Structure formats: structure tokens, C-alpha cells
Amino acid sequence: MIEEKIILGIDPGTTIMGFGLIKVVGKQMQFIQLNELDLKKYTDHYLKLKLIFERTIELIDTHKPDEIAIEAPFFGKNVQSMLKLGRAQGVAMAAGLSREIPITEYLPKKIKMAITGNGNASKEQVAKMLQSLLGLKTLPKNLDATDGLAAAVCHFYNYGKVTVGKSYSGWDAFVKQNPNKVG
């Protein structure tokens, strides 16, 4: 029996959340979708978080992914931006955990390395490689969507490897692995 699964990749953000879906059949990837949730027109940060949660739930309920790969926040100089990004990631993860979907986090460098072989690749280089790998006819104007797709493809390439990043099989697993972050 050939194993099939769907992977949802998410690039969290409070301005734009990019996402992509692939179907894995055996050892082959098939492109399903890439898109973004544009949050620029909203000024209320809590409304943005609610919309991220709802869109992630909608993607889960529509496409029934077996696993979620999410880009982990990178450490920047602006603490407020980092906090907002972490919240965006958290609500996307909470949506997956509420549906008991295993989640794996990947650092941006790890995703870039998996796609291009270069951990310092540009967004454009990642997008072009994904276009080639998955036979995409066109690329989106904003590359946040391809970043989400890249997380899914990175997860596919790392499937079965022992050290893939932090993984959570559900809310209980998340709480056990992060006792200082909850409660």
C-alpha cells in the first residue's frame, strides 16, 4: 500500500501569513495550493490573531492535512516584532493542536538549506527552486506564500530523520515539552 499524506506548511506573520500544501504519495510530492492571508488592512493585533487562527482551522478542515510544518521565528533586533511573530506562530500552532495534527517547527535557515542547499538563500531563490521542483507555472507577487510552501517541502525532505526540529503530536505533548511556557 502506497502511503499518502498531506502536509500544510505555514510561514506565520501578522502582516502576511503564507501557506502551502503538498500531497505526498510514496516518495513523490504533488503541489496542491499556495496562498497567503493578507492582514495589512487590519490595525487591531488581536483581530489579526483571530483571523490567523480561523484561516488555519479553515485550511485544516478543508484539506485535512496529516502534518503541519511551521517556520519558527528568527531572533531579530526588534523585540516587539519578535513578540508579534511568536504570537502569530502560536495561534497557528494552537489551531493545529486543537485538531490534534502533529506540528514540526523549522528554523528559516533549515528550510532554505532543504530547498536550495544554501541556508542563506534569498526568498527569490527559494521561490524559483520550488517553482522548478513542483512545476509551478507562476509565482505569487508576495513570496510569503512560497515560504509557507517551502516549510511543507522541507518537512517532506526531513521526513523520517531523527532531528527535524521541535515536534508536537498534540496539546498534551506541547505542554509536556514546554513546561515553562504554559501556565
Annotated binding site for Mg(2+): 11, 71, 144
Is 181 strand, coil or helix? coil
Instruction: Output the CA–CA distances (angstroms, integers) from residue 89 to 50, 74, 113, 116, 163, in the order listed.
Output: 12, 11, 21, 24, 21
Cell numbers that stand for 72 in this block: 519558527
Full DSSP string of 10-77 = EE--SSEEEEEEEEEETTEEEEEEEEEEE-TT---HHHHHHHHHHHHHHHHHHH--SEEEEEPPP--S
Residue ranges of the annotated binding site are 11, 71, 144
Catalytic residue among 36, 71, 105, 147: 71
Catalytic residue among 36, 67, 144, 147: 144
- The question of whether 147 is a catalytic residue gets the answer no
- The question of whether 71 is a catalytic residue gets the answer yes
Is 173 strand, coil or helix? helix
Catalytic residue among 11, 67, 105, 147: 11
- The question of whether 66 is a catalytic residue gets the answer no
Rounded-to-integer distance, Cα 17 and Cα 22, Å:
17
- Beta-ladder partners of 11: 18
CA atoms within 13 A on the CB side of 63: 26
- Residues noted as catalytic: 11, 71, 144
